[in-house]
């Protein structure tokens, strides 16, 4: 065993000396190989981490969201629909949602404005007061008596709670960063009637939740309706919870039969969307991967198509001085193995640093697209051994095969012929 | 020093660094569990449906809520012109084998997803 190991080390020494003799070529090779592994590993780590994070976070998404569709477009839903959905057997509860987008022309960013569900007077039919009747008193926000106040407070540590009274808003960290706003500042919005609606920032969502709250502006129903001029008997859409989780699809079917102008979106669909959004074979990632894979194929093809004249002569000389065919192949194996192992580990380490320490800085411009407001988030590193094994078989094995085949072909011919062919 | 010793030492160092990174990944994932649970709670409480990744258009901001049946989202012949559109595959029924079948996930922070 010891002799065998010593022999392998000697062969490795020889292979490394051979690589060092063609220093420039092999350094280029190593750099290219590392780059390919880095790209593939980065895409794999990034998409896997993002997809997994999305699936974990969005498990709290509504069981069924029901939207009204008019002329193929999402439209506001009349509140009588709520009672009709509640009457469907299997429905546990229905909550109205009020949300929409606000384009800030000054900074060119889109915000998502949202009224926390369950706080809307239209959703509480026993509420004697209309939504516009809540006193809009700035600065009188007392202790967090509203469900919104206590809710947001339990989730976001640095909030001044009780803050969400009419006239106040809770903004996402991305909005705060872009607008240079903090708690106590005022943001002015252009309402649908052209008037200015100043709203005080009651609190800012923690940056830890930026992946879901970066562009959010949470406000009260009276402010929302005033801003967008939405009548009291309309809501954006409704969310439905179902008594028996196994009946979600059936209840969704009943809703679409009973209200044919609506579209139910079940949570499974949301999760499926995010499962496939960052599938690493989709969209622009295909382009990145295709380029990397194509480069690798060309590279492997170049290797597989034959050895250089110098390498052929070297094999001829080795055989002439007494090397066995098996030893030549082993030496070539170590040449390939040293390059590919070094490149593999370096590429994977660099990819990890790139994705989880620099927040995928190389991909950020592509992901950011034309978004002015982009969340600053650190991905949770979900890296599995399976990913590394897949990557190993995608990169190291093809290269090893590509280098072994021509070496085997050259090693099996007569040394004299090998040296003559090299001339 | 033999070249193989230098190579094997540097390879061992690379493996060691990778091992440390994988160890870090495991410990960070455990520590991040609380943050993810808070995010999941925030999603559940506010009734959120999408990640805030692409804020450039409504159909990229809320991917799951977009009216996918509408071919041209903004006006007739309005082709998708936002870069993030190239990251998002078309609906599964239109993309054939490009998008794989959805995979079930085992980890659960809030409650298991609804079964069909």
A313 phi-psi bin (left φ>0, alpha ψ -120 to 50, beta other): alpha
B-chain residues near A218 (CB < 8 A): 46
For residue range A347-391, list pLDDT tens digits in order: 999 999 999 999 888 877 777 777 777 888 788 888 888 889 988
Classify A369 as helix, strand or coil: coil
CB contact under 8 A, A215 and B52: yes
Dmax (CA) for chain B in angstroms is 72
Strand partners, A198: A188
B-chain residues near A90 (CB < 8 A): none
Radius of gyration of chain A (CA): 32
Measured CA distances, A3 to A7, A8, A14, B3 (Å): 6, 9, 16, 18
Q: What is the mean pLDDT of residues A220-247?
A: 92
Confidence band of A282 (pLDDT split at 50, 70, 90): low
pLDDT of A283 strictly over 70: no
| Percent of residues, chain A, with pLDDT higher than 90 | 26
Average of per-residue pLDDT values in chain A: 81
Contact A341, A16 (CB under 8 A): no
The predicted structure's pLDDT at residue A252: 93
Which residue's entry shows tokens 């030496």? A331
| Cα A154 off chain centre by | 27
User: A175-204 in b/e burial notation, b at 16+ Cβ within 10 A?
Assistant: bbbbbebebeeebebeeeeeeebebbbbbb
Chain A nearest-CA distance from B95, in A, is 10
The predicted structure's pLDDT at residue A352: 94
For residue range A3-16, list pLDDT tens digits in order: 888 888 898 999 89
Local structure of residue B113 (DSSP, 8 states): P
CB contact under 8 A, A367 and B69: no
Lowest mean pLDDT among A75-79, A284-288, B48-52, B111-115: B111-115
pLDDT of A186 strictly over 80: yes
Contact A32, A340 (CB under 8 A): no
Q: Which two tokens stand for residue A165?
A: 């009274």
Confidence band of A320 (pLDDT split at 50, 70, 90): confident
CB contact under 8 A, B84 and A266: no
A231 phi-psi bin (left φ>0, alpha ψ -120 to 50, beta other): beta
Contact A343, A37 (CB under 8 A): yes
Distance separating alpha carbons of residues A119 and B47, to the nearest angstrom: 12
CB contact under 8 A, B46 and A53: no
Q: Which two tokens stand for residue A4?
A: 């065998």
Partner-chain residue, chosen from A211, A245, A275, that has the shortest CB–CB distance to B39: A211
User: A338, A318, A366: which is closest to A46 by C-alpha?
Assistant: A366
B-chain residues near A155 (CB < 8 A): 38, 41-42, 45
CB contact under 8 A, B100 and A279: yes
| Cα A307 off chain centre by | 42
The predicted structure's pLDDT at residue A206: 85
Classify A146 as helix, strand or coil: coil
The predicted structure's pLDDT at residue A303: 65
The predicted structure's pLDDT at residue A422: 56
Contact A156, A203 (CB under 8 A): yes
For residue range A109-160, list pLDDT tens digits in order: 889 999 987 665 554 443 333 333 333 333 333 333 344 444 444 444 444 4
Lowest mean pLDDT among A20-29, A208-217, A404-413: A404-413
- Other residues' Cβ atoms within 10 Å of the Cβ of residue B90: 15
Classify A5 as helix, strand or coil: helix
CB contact under 8 A, A279 and B36: no
- Pairing state between β A168-171 and A196-204: parallel
Distance separating alpha carbons of residues B86 and B80, to the nearest angstrom: 9
DSSP structure string for B6-29:
HHHHHHHHHHHHHHHHHHHHHHHH
Lowest mean pLDDT among A38-42, A260-264, B57-61, B65-69: B65-69
Q: Which two tokens stand for residue A285?
A: 């990632």
CB contact under 8 A, B11 and A246: no
CB contact under 8 A, B114 and A63: yes
Which one of B18, B42, B103 makes the best mutation probe of the A interface by having the most chain A beta carbons within 10 Å? B42
The predicted structure's pLDDT at residue A176: 92
Q: In terms of pTM, does the model score above 0.95?
A: no
Contact B62, A77 (CB under 8 A): no
A-chain residues near B10 (CB < 8 A): 342
Local structure of residue A358 (DSSP, 8 states): S
What is the number of alpha carbons within 13 Å of residue A60 lying toward its C-beta? Answer: 20
């Amino acid at each position: 065993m010891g002799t065998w190991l010593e022999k392998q080390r000697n062969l490795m020494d020889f292979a490394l000396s051979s690589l060092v003799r063609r220093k420039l070529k092999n350094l280029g090779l190593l750099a290219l190989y590392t780059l390919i592994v880095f790209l593939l590993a980065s895409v794999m780590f990034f998409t896997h981490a993002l997809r997994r994070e999305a699936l974990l976070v969005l498990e709290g998404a509504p069981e069924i969201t029901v939207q009204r569709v008019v002329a193929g477009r999402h439209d506001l839903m009349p509140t009588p629909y709520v009672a009709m959905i509640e009457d469907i057997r299997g429905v546990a509860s229905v909550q109205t949602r009020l949300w929409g987008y606000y384009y800030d022309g000054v900074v060119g960013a889109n915000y998502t404005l949202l009224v926390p569900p369950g706080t809307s007077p239209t959703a509480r039919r026993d509420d004697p007061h209309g939504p516009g009747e809540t006193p809009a008193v700035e600065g009188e926000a007392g202790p967090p008596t509203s469900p919104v106040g206590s809710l947001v407070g339990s989730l976001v540590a640095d909030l001044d709670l009780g803050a969400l009274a009419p006239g106040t808003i809770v903004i996402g960290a991305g909005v705060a960063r872009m607008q240079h706003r903090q708690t106590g500042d005022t943001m002015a919005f252009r309402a649908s009637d052209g008037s200015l609606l100043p709203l005080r920032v009651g609190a800012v969502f923690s940056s830890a939740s930026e992946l879901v709250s970066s562009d959010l502006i949470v406000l009260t129903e009276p402010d929302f309706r005033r801003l967008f001029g939405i009548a009291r008997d309309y809501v954006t859409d409704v969310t439905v919870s179902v008594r028996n989780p196994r009946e979600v699809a059936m209840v969704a079917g009943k809703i679409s039969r009973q209200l044919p102008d609506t579209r139910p979106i079940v949570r499974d669909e949301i999760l499926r969307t995010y499962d496939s959004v960052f599938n690493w074979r989709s969209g622009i990632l295909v382009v990145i991967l295709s380029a990397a894979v194509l480069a690798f194929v060309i590279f492997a093809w170049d290797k597989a198509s034959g050895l250089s004249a110098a390498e052929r002569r070297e094999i001829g000389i080795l055989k002439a001085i007494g090397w066995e065919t098996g030893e030549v192949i082993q030496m070539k194996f170590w040449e390939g193995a040293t390059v590919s192992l070094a490149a593999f580990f370096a590429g994977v380490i660099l990819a990890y640093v790139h994705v989880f320490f620099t927040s995928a800085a190389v991909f950020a411009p592509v992901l950011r697209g034309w978004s002015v407001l982009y969340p600053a988030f650190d991905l949770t590193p979900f890296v599995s051994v399976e990913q590394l094994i897949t990557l190993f078989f995608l990169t190291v094995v093809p290269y090893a095969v590509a280098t072994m085949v021509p070496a085997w072909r050259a090693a099996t011919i007569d040394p004299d012929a090998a040296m003559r062919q090299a001339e | 020093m033999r070249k193989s010793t230098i190579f094997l030492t540097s390879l061992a160092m690379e493996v060691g660094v990778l091992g440390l990174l994988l160890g870090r990944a495991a410990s960070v994932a455990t520590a991040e569990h609380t943050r993810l649970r808070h995010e999941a709670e925030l999603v559940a409480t506010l009734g959120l449906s999408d990640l805030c990744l692409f804020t450039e258009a409504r159909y990229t901001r809320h991917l799951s809520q977009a009216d996918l049946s509408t071919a041209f989202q903004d006006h007739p012949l309005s082709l998708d012109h936002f870069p993030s559109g190239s990251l998002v595959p078309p609906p599964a029924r239109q993309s054939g084998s490009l998008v794989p079948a959805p995979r079930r996930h085992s980890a659960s922070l809030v409650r298991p997803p609804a079964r069909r």
